[in-house]
Amino acid sequence: METQPAFVGTDNDLADAVLERGSETAFRELYRRHTPRLLGFVTRLLARSDAEAEDVVQETWIRVCKGLGDFRWNSAFSTWLLGIGLNVVRDVIRRNTRHPTLELDSVAPQPVPPIRHDDRIDLERGIQMLPDRYRMVLVLHDVEGIKHAEIARRLEIPEGTSKSHLAKARKQLRASLSGGEIEGDRS
Amino acid sequence: MSNDDLTPREKEALEKLPKERKPNVDLEERLVRSLRAEGVLRRGMRPVVEFTWPRALAVVAASVLLLVGGFALGRWSGPQQSRLEDTTNIESSNISVAASLQRAGSAYVLALEHFTAMPEGSADADEMRQGREVAIKTLSTATDKVARFVPKRDLAGQLLDVISAGGGTAPKDTTHTGKTGVFWF
């Protein structure tokens, strides 16, 4: 892997360097700062294979770079990045829904983490098994801490729908976990 | 507890889920290649150097040093180059003189051959002697000029010695010794 000296600067400086000069160094720094968070976010939302999650990350960065000129910096760069990541995840899920063959693929056995007596792993698996629309609302609300109004805006659904999806998601998650209660790592 | 609310333990469990995930090392390179192909990134861009006063002063100092160094080098190497060119001219002139001398010598040898080839009695002995003396004198004068022009060259001095030893007359010594010699070039 190519290693280059770190580009010292704020996200805004880095984005300017990418936008104005096509600076690869600046992009790599921006990528290294934000990709772990983006990958964690899309992996949980998408609940598909690692390869598909990485494809989403790649598509997200390409959209981000092309849209850098339109970003007004009214919010943090990371917020904007995750927002675009969410849009790409939605596109992938929609695409899978439209095409039966892809739907079959998506319904096919998903990568299951190794069985361990670890509550956190059980919780991850429980989230992963939720239907797409429930899982997205639960992750955005309960894991990411986003309010229903914002979720409704982001997912282009009524706020009431967001709340009902969340209720159903929690119910299913509790049911999937052995104790009937959502429990994480107690350590 | 209602289904709509999380217990504090449930809330904590969900909030404690890791938010980050380390990407595959290949992903960065794959992405950079894609962005290059899209024309978003340009290969080999250098990182932007931030402006700071110490850095600016260092750049100015380096520029001045380069200018002064270049000027000093020019002042030093100019005369050196002139001397080299003078030496080259002298060498060239020497070669030209040597060539002329060689041609004169060859002409002299040819003249001697003609003298030798002349049948006995075909010319007056006095005329032959005079002719030989004229030839030797001409060669001596030419060699003397070479010796004056390039005093450090051994060739002219050796020729003069040979001419003197062979019975030719040196420019300053024109007295006839009566000896006959052959000069090889």
DSSP B56-92: HHHHHHHHHHHHHHHHHHHHHHHHHHHHHHHHHHHHH
187 residues of chain A, pLDDT tens digit each: 455 546 678 999 999 999 999 999 999 999 999 999 999 999 999 999 999 999 999 999 999 999 999 999 999 999 999 999 999 999 999 998 766 444 444 444 454 444 444 677 789 999 999 999 999 999 999 999 999 999 999 999 999 999 999 999 999 999 888 655 565 544 3
Q: Cβ of B25 and A1 within 8 Å?
A: yes
Q: Does A94 touch chain B (CB under 8 A)?
A: no
- The CB-side HSE value for A29 (13 A sphere, CA atoms) comes to 21
- Show which of residues 41-100 on chain B sit within 8 Å of chain A, judged by CB atoms: 41-48, 50
Given this model, what pLDDT does residue B136 score?
Answer: 74
Distance CA B65, CA B72 (A): 10
Q: Which two tokens stand for residue B39?
A: 């024309």
Distance CA A45, CA A67 (A): 23
The residue to which tokens 């260092």 are assigned: B58
Q: Does B3 touch chain A (CB under 8 A)?
A: yes
Length of chain B: 185
Q: Cβ of A65 and B48 within 8 Å?
A: no
Distance from CA of B17 to the nearest CA of A (A): 7
DSSP state for residue A70 in the 8-state scheme: G
Q: Is A10 left (phi over 0), alpha (psi -120 to 50) or beta?
A: beta
Distance from CA of A164 to the nearest CA of B (A): 9
**Nearest to A5, CA basis, from A33, A27, A22, A25:** A25
**Nearest to A57, CA basis, from A76, A71, A37, A74:** A37
Distance from CA of B20 to the nearest CA of A (A): 4
Neighbours of A28 (CB within 10 A): 24
Q: Does A170 touch chain B (CB under 8 A)?
A: yes
Distance CA B183, CA B162 (A): 8
ipTM for the whole complex:
0.79
Measured in degrees and rounded to the nearest 5, phi and psi for residue B125 equal -60, -35
B42: which strand partners? A23
Q: Cβ of B17 and A44 within 8 Å?
A: yes
Q: Which two tokens stand for residue A90?
A: 């939605």
Please tell me the pTM assigned to this model: 0.56
Q: Which of A122, A146, A170, A174 to mutate to test the interface with B (most CBs of B within 10 A)?
A: A170
Given this model, what pLDDT does residue A103 score?
Answer: 41
Q: Cβ of A120 and B28 within 8 Å?
A: no
DSSP state for residue B42 in the 8-state scheme: B
Distance CA A38, CA B161 (A): 100
Q: Cβ of A26 and B50 within 8 Å?
A: no
Given this model, what pLDDT does residue A187 score?
Answer: 38
Distances (CA, A) of A177 to A27, A125, A184, B15: 42, 9, 10, 17
